[in-house]
Amino acid sequence: MNTGSKQGPSLRRHKKTGHGFARFNGKQIWFGPYDGPEAHTRFAAFKAEWEANGRRLPLDERSRAMVTVADVVARYLEHAEVYYRKPDGTPTHEIVNTRYTVKPLIELYALRCAAQFDLRCLKTVRERMINSGLARSTVNDRVWRIVHIFGWAAEEELTPPETYGSLRALRPLRRGRSRARETKPVRSVSWGDVAAVLDLGCAPVRAMILLQWHTGMRPGEVVQLKKVDLDLSGPVWLYRPQRHKLEHHGKDRVVAIGPKAQEVLSPFLLRVPQAIPDAPVFSPKDAMTERHAKARAARKTPCGRPMSEPSHGRD
């Protein structure tokens, strides 16, 4: 959408009437006598609202009545692509979750006037989710996202606030009190299961598994572990991940690394070049090198000998 220059429209004088006007999105808006201070005040306020609305004109009652559910979803996805990003600019998984969430909403109500999407419609969408086999917790999460989308639409004046208010009345499904599929509680992994897979991986992978066992780190935190993020000054080392699950809430994440975890981690810290302290502690290159070495050692010639075993041909 072309909205003019980066500075936006400017207030201009109409020669015949002496009134001030400006063009917003191709529409001519009038602000009263140009020489009076009221016109400039009205123009400044209108332009500020226009900028805050993504350089779009506010909808009147007639235009708002023509906004469909598909329109709301499309506008929200544009917003989500910009809003749900990590500090380094990469998108979060919330965008993917939202796309899955709106699929049954669009299938059922794409052309429905967004202002007429009511509690009965939301219940119908929820039934579609239940019938598709989604777990109760997933259904509750996705219904919450739909309500959140209409809350955003009300804030953007695409729908009346009453629409959002009515949708909030839908209570989440309770365990054992709905047709939705229930999932088993997530249990902690036993040491027996961990020990059974340790020998299947290369040295870096084994160390990463043991670090998670001893410290409770998340997999992503182990992968991004860097020497520069470690405080090695005390008997218990402290690891502060640069990226973690709650960083967008302004919360810090500190992982304590005790003696057993230190014993696992120390050999890999020695491999980090002194000149590159922000290099990953666990390098995929090291893992691939070990994997290829094992593959070469296990490879055999057509005669059945390992490739590493020298052949003894006749002189």
Question: Which of 194, 156, 143 has its CA nearest to residue 56?
Answer: 156
- What is the per-residue pLDDT for 25? 79
Which residues of the chain register pLDDT less than 50? 1-4, 313-315
- Angstrom distance (rounded) from CA 258 to CA 230: 13
Q: Give 102-146 pLDDT, tens digit per residue.
A: 999 999 999 999 999 999 999 999 999 999 999 999 999 999 999
Q: What is the pTM of this model?
A: 0.65
Answer CATH for 191-298 from 3.10.450, 1.20.120, 1.10.10, 3.90.15: 3.90.15
The number of CA neighbours under 13 Å toward the Cβ of 31 is 23
Of the chain, the end-to-end C-alpha distance in Å amounts to 82
- What is the per-residue pLDDT for 245? 59
- Angstrom distance (rounded) from CA 81 to CA 76: 9
Burial 67-97 (b: 16+ CB within 10 A, else e): bbbbbbbebbeeebeeebeeeeeeeeeeeeb
| CA of residue 239 relative to chain centroid, distance | 24
Q: Give 58-81 pLDDT, tens digit per residue.
A: 666 666 678 899 999 999 999 999
- What is the per-residue pLDDT for 314? 46
Place of tokens 């959002």: 164
- Angstrom distance (rounded) from CA 304 to CA 90: 50
- Angstrom distance (rounded) from CA 102 to CA 69: 10
Positive or negative, the CA dihedral 185, 187, 192, 194 is: positive
CATH 1.10.150 residue window(s) in the chain? 64-167
- What is the per-residue pLDDT for 309? 52
Note whether 269 and 227 are within 8 A (CB). yes
For 177, counting Cβ atoms within 10 Å of its Cβ (0-12 exposed, 13-18 middle, 19+ buried), the class is exposed
The number of CA neighbours under 13 Å toward the Cβ of 103 is 10
Q: Give 32-49 pLDDT, tens digit per residue.
A: 888 888 888 888 888 888
Q: Which CATH class is domain 64-167?
A: mainly alpha
- What is the per-residue pLDDT for 106? 96
CATH 3.90.15 residue window(s) in the chain? 191-298
Determine how many CB atoms are found less than 10 A away from the CB of residue 47.
19
Structure tokens, 147: 């309500």
